[in-house]
Amino acid sequence: MQQQYQHISSNIQNYSLIITLSRVEKKNALDPIMIKNLQDILDDNKNNHNIRVVILQSSSDVFCAGADIEYLHKMRNFSYEENLNDSKQLMLLFKTILSYPKLIISKVNGAALGGGCGIVTASDIVFATQKSSFGYPEVKIGFTPALVSAFLIEKVNLTNTRELLLSGKIINAEKAQKIGLINFIHTEAQLNIEMDIFIKKIITKTSPDSIHATKQILYTQLDIDNKLERAAEFNAKSRMSNDFKKGIQLFLEKKPHNWI
């Protein structure tokens, strides 16, 4: 049965919950509605025993462009408390993906940036096409990638985390695989075939209870709850800065950022 949410659809087939981002006109940029709908879909299917794998994908040639810039523009007038509450919604989504009792696979075709790359980073397994790209460009617009820093550092080590977050650089799929950010790269034609083979093995060769327990173990090893709470506070504080307000305004006006 297919469920339709605003900008997102979900469908269960062959023991897989397929969640498709379809806010094409905004390049699947994340706003509160998108985040809430993703959260609701995951919550609603958490205890569904007919689901063994969750697939996060896009209906277009962009996986997710990150935060909705127009919504960030509205945040310029938010209080600290409003920014903190907003930040905690994305924090909850990341926590849900990291601790979810089922295997979560991101299927990336195109750009996965900012919060979109955060979703990829939080996923258990990542398949990507050769033309995919990844990055956290927040520092270029006066923002900070606070939330993802809490678990990116555990995935790609401190050296690569520093390079990605402090430079805001965008990397290709080959580089992302080399540093351990993603698992597999395939041509567009081969991607679905390889994913089907992988998922069939997961469904037939692994115990669902063991997957659940192992994910609990991995989440516990991250010791991440307090780190994410502090990161949400950093995130909210960064939105109060003059650089954030300036950066968002320049972006909306399509003017180059020059921080000298």
Q: How far apart are CA 109 and CA 156, in angstroms?
A: 21
> Taking all residues of the chain, what is their mean pLDDT, rounded to a whole number?
95
Tokens matching residue 112:
């996965």
Fill in the DSSP letter of residue 240: T
Q: How far apart are CA 171 and CA 231, in angstroms?
A: 24
What are the residues facing 253 on neighbouring strands? none
Radius of gyration of the chain (CA): 18
Q: What is the four-CA torsion angle of 26, 99, 75, 149, rounded to 10 degrees?
A: -100
- Per-residue pLDDT for 200 more than 80? yes
- Per-residue pLDDT for 136 more than 70? yes
Query: What value does the mean pLDDT take over residues 201-226?
Result: 97
pLDDT of residue 260: 87
> What type of residue is 142?
G
Quickly state the pLDDT bin for 4 (edges 50, 70, 90). low
3-state secondary structure 155-166: HHHHHHHHHHHH
Q: What is the pLDDT of residues 78-120, one digit of tens each?
A: 999 999 999 999 999 999 999 999 999 999 999 999 999 999 9
Domain borders along the chain are 2-210+221-252
What percentage of residues in the chain have a pLDDT greater than 70? Answer: 98
Quickly state the pLDDT bin for 54 (edges 50, 70, 90). very high
Of 38, 66, 60, give the one whose Cα is nearest residue 129: 60
**Range 2-210+221-252: architecture per CATH:** Alpha-Beta Complex (3.90)
